[in-house]
Structure formats: C-alpha cells, structure tokens
Structure 1
Amino acid sequence: MLIGIMSDTHDNLPAIAKAVELFNREKVDLVIHAGDYVAPFVKRELSKLKAPLKGVFGNNDGERKGLSKALGISEEILEINADGMKIIVLHGTNEKIVEAFARSQLYDVIVRGHTHKYEIRETGRSILVNPGEVCGYLTGVKSIAFLDTKKREIKIINLDTEEALGFMSL
C-alpha cells in the first residue's frame, strides 16, 4: 500500500493542487493529512484526490464544523492500520504527547505536523515522520511524504522539484 502524507497546507491552494497531482500520479491508496488545513474551501483541491483522505485537526483549524462537514475530519488523534502497520496521526502541537507516542513503542509509524520542518526519525521500533509543510510559508520548502508499506520505506519529497529530501527504510 502506498500512502501519501501531508500537513500544514494552510489554505495554499496552488501548493495543495501540486500535492494532489503528485499523489494522483503516484497512485497512492490513501492520503493522510496531519492537520492545519485552516478553512473548508481547501476541499476544492483536496476533493480531486483519487484516494481516500484521512486526517486530524491542527491548532490553526478554527472552522472545525466546516472542515468536518467538507472533509469528514472529526478527530485530533487518529489510529490507522495499513497492511499490518499501526499508524498514529496527530498534529503534534504538544511535543510531550508526540514523544510519549514515540516512547510507547505501540506504533510502527507516528505521523505528525505542526513544526513545518520535514523529519524522519527512528525511536526504537517506531518511526516518526513529519512531512513538513505543503504551504511553504515558514521554511520556503513545500514538501510531502510517501509511506510504502510493502517496501517498508518512507521518503520526503520537495513539491517544487520532486526531489527526495529524506529517505528511511523501516
């Protein structure tokens, strides 16, 4: 199963469109969003995904009722089982909670956002992945990630150049 991972889209419709185009081209089976969509009108681009979208709220998602209605988002923490891999998704506003999930060793993959900085980090048997920011507002780098559950690989991709920024085998 190929999973596309994104976070911190912050209403940047052209950047969201690029991410959606890449996810569709790579034929992902699922897209995970780790929060900070911001407003319900992002549905205009996210509805073009050919794969199902699952996600959580972030700290900048003020219009939660509208986002829930538009995208079906309803949680701050989401567990996903994909090809036998246990994945936990959270925005990651509280670093103590992120680290507690990592130390718990209950999950194969911890997906988080919030920092706007892409990262892949191993903590015991768990891999923490932050795809960075789709919007590119804070770091200037628009990025997403792919998790291949069959190959057991995670890679982070720059949306503008489509070059790999990070890679890890699980």
Structure 2
Amino acid sequence: MKVGIMSDTHDNLGAIRRAVDFFNREGVDLVLHAGDYVAPFVARELSRLKAPLKGVFGNNDGEREGLKRTLGIKDEILVLDIGGMKTVVIHGTDERLIEALAKSQLYDIVIRGHTHRQGIEEVGRTIIVNPGEVCGYLTGIKSVAILDIREREVRIVNLETGDIIGLMSL
C-alpha cells in the first residue's frame, strides 16, 4: 500500500494540482492531508485525486463547514490503521501534543503539518512525518511525502524538481 501525505496547501491551486498529479502518477492508494487547506474551493483540485482523501483541520481552516461539505473533513485528529501500522494524523499546532503522541508509543506513525518544514524523525518505535508545505510559501519548497508500506519506507519529495529530500526506512 502506498500513501500520499500532504499538508499546508493554503489555497495554492497550482501547487495542489502538481501534488495531485504527482500522487496520481505514483499510484497511491490513499492520500492524507494534515490540515490548512484554508477554503473549500480547493476541493476542485483535490477531487482529481484517483485515491480517496482523508484529512484533518488545521489552524488556518476558516470555512470548516464548507470543508466538511466539500471534502468530508470532520476532525482535528484522525486515527487509522494503514496496512497494519497504527497511524495518527494531526495538524500539529501544539508541539507538546506531537511529542506526547510519539512518546506514548501507541502509534507507529504520527503525521503532522503546521511548521511548513519537512522532516522525518524517529522517537522510539514511532516515526513522525512532516511532509512540509505543498504551497511553498514559507520555505520556497513545495513538498509531499510518500509512505510505502510494502517497501517499508517514507520519502519526502520536492514537487518542482522531483528530488528526494528526505528518506527513512521503517
């Protein structure tokens, strides 16, 4: 199973289009969004995904009712099993909560956003994945992550160059 991971799209339709095209080419089975879509009109681009989309609200998601209606977003935290790996998705505005989720060792993977900085970190047996920002507004790098359960790896990819900018074996 391959999972596309994205966060912090912030209404950048061109960047969202690029991320959707990338995930469709990669043949992902599921896409997870760690929040900050911002407005419901992003659904137009996200609806082009060939895989189902699940996600959480971020701190900049002002039109929550519209996001619920157009994308089915319901919560600020999402827990799911991905190929036998217990996974939690959260935007990540409170670093103490991210740390507590990781240190609890209840999850194999913690997916977060908010900082706009991509990274993969290991805390005990838990992997924290931040795909960075799709929008590219703060860092200048438009990035997403791919979690490949079969290959047992997570990689972060620069959407503009295709370069792998982060890689970890699970």
TM-score, length-scaled by structure 2: 0.99
**Other-structure match for 1:13:** 13
Counterpart of 2:35, as a letter, is G
Classify the secondary structure of the residue corresponding to 2:69.
helix
Deviation beyond 6 Å, 4+ runs, structure 1: none
Shift of 1:150: 1.2
Match status 1:158 vs 2:158: yes
Deviation per residue, 1:31-69 (Å, 9 max, x gap): 000000000000010000000000000000010000000
Matched, 1:60 2:54: no
**Structure 2 Cα separation of the partners of residues 131 and 15 of structure 1:** 14
Match of 2:34 in 1: 34
Alpha-carbon distance between aligned partners in 1 of 2:162 and 2:71, rounded to the nearest angstrom: 26
Query: 1:151: how far off?
Result: 1.2
AA at the equivalent of 1:153:
E
Provide the residue aligned with 1:118 in structure 2: 118
- The offset of 1:27, in angstroms, is 0.5
Question: C-alpha distance in 2, partners of 1:124/1:161?
Answer: 32
Tell me how many residue pairs correspond in the alignment. 170
Answering whether residue 28 of structure 2 is matched by residue 22 of structure 1, we say: no
Aligned to 2:149: 149
Separation (CA, whole Å) in 2 of partners of 1:98 and 1:73: 20
Amino acid across the alignment from 1:82 = I
Amino acid at match of 2:164: A
Q: Which runs of 5+ in 2 are unaligned?
A: none
> In the alignment, which residue of structure 2 is the partner of 1:79?
79
Identity rate, percent: 67
Aligned partner of residue 161 in structure 1, secondary structure: coil
Tell me which amino acid in the other structure corresponds to 1:33. Answer: H
Q: Which residue of 2 aligns with 1:96?
A: 96
TM-score by length of 1: 0.99
Q: CA RMSD in A?
A: 0.4
